[in-house]
């Protein structure tokens, strides 16, 4: 393993989490926790956030990424994932980051559905900054989109030239291919992010032509190649120059000492 | 972190793996190595490799998953051929598990790699080959005709649109055969014979989600009489897509592979 990347198994209240720590190279300027997207978007974006974590570490920012319980390499079956659990996992991961970087308040990045966990941290404790990447603000709207995407894939004659996409075992619930509980669907349907007065400085990472999730906020426009994955189910490459450029812009954020 | 226990192991050159370890009283002499499905990182499509690894570990088979250089957490791109990398991974897997024989493979290019590794290294006692090598031939044509018969008017309009687009696009010579690392036609029959002579067990599954495998007859035409040998366990799942999007297919896959391993590698 290279010294630039440290895979970890975090234990917390029977929620064994897989995490990756990218220690800052050179002078440590800040620390960052990445709350990743969930469901199919977790796998779609995994490489992107691995590359971004590495690029930020090279710019003096220590980064910790993690998989939620029931996602990726963390413990738990697929149906173990819940929104409430994701918020608990983010706290475990934040403690793991703090234990490696000292007590200074970290920055938290919430990507897509990970914005729910990041916002919950910002509601609960002092942070140096909050970065939200194409955040899911309205859970019900998000769920509607997921169901439409799921239906499109199940009916796709390219994916299923011989039919068969509509098969679901009796009693099973799935969303974009992944098993889930009725509880998760209910949580998502009622989830909503409200900006709180006590939030730290907020930065949005969104495509330039997308409406701002929170108007009047500092915004970094995502380059082509960094945002299209949210509409896909099949993984694609991410352009390294665009990731490096984004890391430069994030590392120049006002909340990070030069 | 799970009932079976998982640990991170260093595989060298910036690569690590996650080893699902069986309970000590259930440990078998054969381990399993699952390769990446294309550029999808080690949990596999819709987390299927995680579930498969944990299930196999429960049954006593130590199972390793890792990211090839350039995939997932393996940040640097590969500087060596895949076969050199997997040989080193095999060494480390042997050191960590104590297993001297392994089953290796996966979906698509991972199936090709498992097959090639088995040809080179006698420690590979079994291959998991999902949507691996198959040639076109008469059954492919038959499969195309059968698919054409099932197409709706909308599907046909889509076909016409694609043909029009293709005539406008620059000519391309990309086919499955030259995108994948497949040997010259006919070589696979000799390779299968070699593997069977050595006692290699082969789990071979074709989904209905590829453009090159449209009829089970293709398998027998590709591999000849040895395709029916006792060491070959062949499955064709026409309603399953290439990435096993449906939970029904993933659950069936995990169960089928688990049953196959227990029958072919009971100790």
How many structural domains comprise chain B? 1
CATH architecture, range A6-138+194-251: 3-Layer(aba) Sandwich (3.40)
- Report the pLDDT value the prediction gives residue B14, as an integer from 0 to 100: 87
The pLDDT of residue B177: 55
Res. B173 pLDDT band, cuts 50 70 90: very low
Residues in B closer than 8 angstroms to A232, CB to CB, are: none
Distance (Å, whole) CA A20 – CA A64 = 6
Residue B14 near residue A5, CB atoms below 8 Å: yes
CATH number at residue B236: 3.40.50.1820
Rounded Cα distance between A165 and A160, Å, is: 6
Chain segment B11-53, per-residue pLDDT in tens = 988 899 999 999 999 999 999 999 998 889 999 999 999 999 9
What local confidence, expressed as pLDDT, does residue A2 receive? Answer: 46
CB-based contact, A12 to chain B, within 8 Å? no
Determine whether the interchain pair A50/B75 forms a contact, defined as Cβ–Cβ distance below 8 Å. yes
How large is the greatest C-alpha to C-alpha distance in chain B, in angstroms? Answer: 63
Indicate whether B243 belongs to any domain: yes
A80 touches chain B (CB under 8 A): no
Confirm whether B1 is domain-assigned: no
At residue B176 the predicted structure's pLDDT band, cuts being 50, 70 and 90, is low
- Does residue B90 sit at the A interface (CB-CB below 8 Å)? no
Predicted local distance difference test score (pLDDT) of residue B45: 95
The whole-number average pLDDT for the span B254-261 is 98
Shortest alpha-carbon distance between residue B96 and chain A (Å): 15
Q: What percent of chain A has pLDDT over 70?
A: 98
Residue B175 has pLDDT above 60, yes or no: no
Pick B178 or B79 by higher pLDDT. Answer: B79
Checking if the pLDDT of B146 tops 90, the result is no
| pLDDT for A128 | 96
Calculate ∠ Cα A79-A84-A88, nearest 5°.
105
Say whether A204 sits in a helix, a strand or coil.
strand
Window B:201-260, CB contacts with A under 8 Å:
208-209, 238-243, 245-248, 251
Q: Which residues on B lie below 8 Å from A163 (Cβ)?
A: 150, 239
Instruction: Work out how many CB contacts closer than 8 A connect A with B.
Output: 120
- What's the gap in Å between the CA of B241 and the closest CA on chain A? 6
- B129 SS3 class: strand
Band (A51; pLDDT cuts 50, 70, 90) = very high
- B12, closest residue in chain A (CA to CA): A1
Residue A104: the pLDDT is: 83
| pLDDT tens-digit series, residues A136-182 | 999 999 999 999 999 999 998 889 988 888 888 877 888 999 999 99
ipTM summary value: 0.94
The pLDDT score that the predictor gives to residue A1 is 43
Q: What is the pLDDT of residues B201-236, one digit of tens each?
A: 999 999 999 999 999 999 999 999 999 999 999 999
Q: Would you mind telling me the total number of residues written for chain B in this entry?
A: 267
Mean predicted confidence (pLDDT) in A9-30: 91
Predicted pLDDT of residue A72:
97
Q: State whether B245 and A159 contact (CB < 8 Å).
A: yes
Q: Which two tokens stand for residue B97?
A: 């598990």
Minimum Cα–Cα distance from A163: chain B residue: B239
Enumerate residues 6+ apart whose C-beta is below 8 A from A158: none
Contact B117, B88 (CB under 8 A): no
User: In this complex, do B47 and A43 lie within 8 Å of one another by their Cβ atoms?
Assistant: yes
Q: What is the mean pLDDT of residues A97-120?
A: 95
Q: Which helix (H) or strand (E) holds B257?
A: helix B247-264
What is the pTM for the complete model shown? 0.93
Residue among B76, B147, B245 whose CB faces A177 most closely:
B245
Contacts of B144 (CB under 8 A, 6+ apart): B214
C-beta neighbour count of B44 within 10 angstroms: 25
Which one of A210-219, B52-61, B132-141 scores highest in mean pLDDT?
B52-61
The predicted structure's pLDDT at residue B1:
44
Domain span holding position B22: 6-264
């Amino acid at each position: 393993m290279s010294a630039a990347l440290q895979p970890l198994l975090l234990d917390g209240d029977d929620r064994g989490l897989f995490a990756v720590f990218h220690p800052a190279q050179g002078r440590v300027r800040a620390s960052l926790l990445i709350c990743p997207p969930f469901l199919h978007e977790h796998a779609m974006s995994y490489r992107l956030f691995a590359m971004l974590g590495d690029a930020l570490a090279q710019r003096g920012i220590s980064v910790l990424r993690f998989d939620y319980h029931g996602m990726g390499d963390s413990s738990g079956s697929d149906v173990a994932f819940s929104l409430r659990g994701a918020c608990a996992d983010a706290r475990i991961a934040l403690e793991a980051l703090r234990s490696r970087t000292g007590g200074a308040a970290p920055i938290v990045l919430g990507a897509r559905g990970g914005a729910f966990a990041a916002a919950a941290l910002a509601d609960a404790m002092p942070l140096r900054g909050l970065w939200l990447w194409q955040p899911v603000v309205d859970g019900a709207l998000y769920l509607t989109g997921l169901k439409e995407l799921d239906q499109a894939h199940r009916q796709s004659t390219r994916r299923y030239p011989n039919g068969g996409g509509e098969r679901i075992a009796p009693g099973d619930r799935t969303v974009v291919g992944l098993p889930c509980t009725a509880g998760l669907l209910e949580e998502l349907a009622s989830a909503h992010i409200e900006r709180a007065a006590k939030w730290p400085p907020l930065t949005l990472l969104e495509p330039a032509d997308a409406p701002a999730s929170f108007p009047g906020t500092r915004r970094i426009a995502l380059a082509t190649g960094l945002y299209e994955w949210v509409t896909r189910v099949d993984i694609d490459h991410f352009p390294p120059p665009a990731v490096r450029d984004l890391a430069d812009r994030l590392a120049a954020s006002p909340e990070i000492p030069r | 972190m799970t009932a079976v226990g998982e640990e991170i192991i260093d595989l060298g050159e910036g690569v690590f793996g996650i080893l699902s370890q069986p309970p000590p009283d259930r440990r078998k002499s054969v381990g399993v190595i699952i390769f990446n499905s294309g550029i999808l990182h080690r949990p596999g499509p819709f987390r299927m490799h995680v579930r498969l690894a944990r299930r196999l570990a429960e049954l006593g088979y130590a199972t390793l998953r890792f990211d090839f250089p350039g995939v997932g957490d393996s940040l640097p791109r590969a500087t060596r051929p895949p076969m050199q990398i997997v040989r080193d991974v095999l060494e480390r897997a042997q050191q960590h598990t104590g297993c001297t024989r392994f089953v290796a493979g996966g979906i698509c290019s991972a199936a090709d790699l498992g097959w090639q590794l088995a040809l080179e290294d006698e420690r590979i006692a079994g291959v998991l080959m999902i949507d691996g090598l198959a040639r076109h031939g008469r059954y492919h044509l038959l499969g195309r005709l059968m698919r054409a018969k099932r197409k709706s008017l909308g599907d046909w309009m889509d076909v016409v649109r694609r043909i029009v687009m293709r005539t406008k696009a620059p000519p391309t010579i990309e086919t499955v055969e030259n995108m994948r690392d497949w040997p010259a036609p006919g070589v696979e029959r000799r390779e299968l014979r070699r593997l069977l002579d050595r006692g290699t067990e082969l789990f071979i599954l074709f989904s209905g989600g590829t453009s090159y495998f449209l009829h089970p007859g293709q398998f027998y035409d590709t591999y000849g009489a040895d395709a029916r040998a006792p060491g070959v366990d062949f499955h064709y799942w026409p309603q399953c897509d290439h990435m096993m999007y449906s939970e029904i297919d993933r659950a069936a896959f995990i169960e089928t592979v688990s049953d196959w391993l227990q029958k072919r590698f009971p100790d």
